[in-house]
Amino acid sequence: MRKKTGGSIYSGASPEEVARDLAPLVDFRDEGMSLAELSALVEERLLPHLMRYDRPSFQSMFNAFPESGAEYGARTALEWNQGVTNWQVSPGGAMLEEMCCKAICRLFGLDEAAGATFMYCGTYANQQALYMALHRRAEVDGFDLARKGIAGFGGAARLKVLCSSDAHFSLRHAARTIGIGEEGIVELPVDGNRRVEVSGLRRALDEMRAQAEAFCVVATAGTTSTGAVDPVRDIAAVCRDEDVWMHVDGAYGLAYSLVPGWNPLFAGLELADSVSWDPHKQFGVPIPNSILFARRESDFARMALHSDYFNIEESDEPNPGLKSPPSTRPLTALSLVASLLHQGLAGVRERLKAPLAAVGGLHARLGSDKGFEVLHEPDTGILCFRVIPSGGVAEERLDELQQGIYERMMAGGERTISITRIGDRKALRLVAVSPSVSADDLIETAVAARDMATGMI
């Protein structure tokens, strides 16, 4: 993959302008073109509009430029184009994936009995976790969810998943897909630092006891908006007392449990029934790369479907495809393996420390400046804040101001920032994922945001 060069972070073009430039790329004709012509076309028409994750001025989302070991692994996987769901399509691929899953369980301090499977993305990992939790609930009720489906419960309205009000929307997708619907999600209150309040969880469980039944509690280890890590160990204790499946959504944040100093925030992880993690976020492993862990490898048996030609019931060969639905999946384990070998674990820790330190520096700087309202203490690599112009602005105009700053900055094409909602207020959000983003880079963006406000009110 080519390292991008040049000044701006993307073209800054409008959707109409981008569509105009891309039109020749979808103008399919009878005659083909040479690879040289093809690459010239893509270079001219598409690349200027792609986002440059390698730049320290990319500060808005979880995407990262590929780490070079990971890039080598992804390239090799692509050259061989291996499918890995079963031994018959790729003996080495299937075995590498199984061995990598076990090794990654150990890396995160999970028990020997734990297992994992690679997934396409965190959304699907969360969805499968909720399905497995519901399956377990059905077992308690004495039936097989895989066969009877949601009808086995005699009505899905009682079935609830509890999660933070800041939990990722993929849980709502999951609730839709597994058939309980979005009304099956109960949002829990969060504290001033946007972490789930365990007292609120206990209260919610008590209040719903008469008319509903919690089958899963989700702790988010690194929320999307603020990076907050819910109190995993305390939530696990409640789940144990209530005999409820606990899922940890660590799609974004789990990586930081590998960093000394941050590790205590994630204490209790090993008690969760399932955990999701996206190496395709700040780890710099190419998209798609996601993992779902289960505390007991045997929990994945709920996903198994055998066929007559592969994933054969009697076979004792490694068939990773028995742990998740796709019957074709790429060799994504290789990019993760290659990245860990290339950087070494010490290198990985250094890579992860950098964005945490950068956001810590931003927090210290903005906290002492009246031009900003800092909205939380950063648990991980995200800080949300509002620009507060001197002289004061009516509260209702503050939301508009943050939105205006966001739009103007994104249209500039020089740096990125994101917009989110914290409670009922709009907030600007800076994210550090790349090891090359420093506190100064983030502060520069925050100051640019503040300066923009001057012309907008």
Ligand X SMILES: Cc1ncc(COP(=O)(O)O)c(C=O)c1O
Under 8 Å CB-to-CB from 174, ≥6 apart: which residues?
123, 126, 127, 129, 130, 131, 161
Among 121, 150, 212, 393, binds ligand X (CB under 6 A): 121
| Number of residues engaging ligand X in binding (CB under 6 A) | 15
Where is 373: in which H helix or E strand?
strand 372-374
Residue nearest to ligand X (CB): 122
Q: How far is the CB of 95 from ligand X (least distance, A)?
A: 25
User: Which strands, in side-by-side order, build the sheet including 115-119?
Assistant: 115-119, 290-294, 274-277, 245-250, 213-220, 159-164, 185-188
Query: CA torsion sign, 199 to 201 to 204 to 210?
Result: negative
Site for ligand X in 222-261 (CB under 6 A): 223-224, 249, 251-252
Q: CA 209 to CA 196: how far, in whole Å?
A: 20
C-alpha neighbours within 13 Å on the C-beta side of residue 387: 28
Among the listed ranges 102-110, 118-126, 195-203, 337-345, the one in contact with ligand X (CB under 6 A) is 118-126
| Chain centroid, CA 123 distance in Å | 8
Considering the complex, what minimum distance in angstroms separates the CB of residue 125 from ligand X?
8
Residue 249 or 311: the one with the smaller Cβ distance to ligand X is 249
Q: For ligand X, give the closer residue by CB, 294 or 453.
A: 294
In whole angstroms, the minimum distance from the beta carbon of 227 to ligand X comes to: 9
Which of the stretches 79-87, 96-104, 220-228, 429-437 binds ligand X when contact is defined by CB under 6 A? 220-228
* String of DSSP letters for 154-168: T-STTEEEEEETT--
Which of 128, 170, 416, 445 touches ligand X (CB under 6 A)? 170
Span from 9-17, 68-76, 86-94, 217-225 in contact with ligand X (CB under 6 A): 217-225
Tell the smallest beta-carbon distance from residue 174 to ligand X (Å): 10
Does residue 283 interact with ligand X by CB under 6 A? no
Burial class (CB in 10 A: 0-12, 13-18, 19+), 23: exposed
For ligand X, the binding residue among 52, 55, 136, 168 (CB under 6 A) is: 168
Distance CA 221, CA 231 (A): 8
Please list the helix, strand and coil fractions of the chain in percent, rounded to the nearest 5, in that order.
45, 15, 40
Which of 57, 59, 123, 402 lies at the binding interface for ligand X (CB under 6 A)?
123
Report the site for ligand X in 315-344 (rule: CB under 6 A).
none
Q: Half-sphere exposure of 63 toward its Cβ, with a 13 Å CA cutoff?
A: 15
SS (H, E, C) 336-364: HHHHHHHHHHHHHHHHHHHHHHHHHHHHH
Residue 219 CB, nearest distance to ligand X (Å)? 11
Q: In the range 42-71, which residues lie near ligand X by CB under 6 A?
A: 62
Least distance (Å) from ligand X to the CB of residue 339? 17
| Interacting residues with ligand X (CB under 6 A) | 62, 121-123, 126, 168, 170, 220, 223-224, 249, 251-252, 278, 290
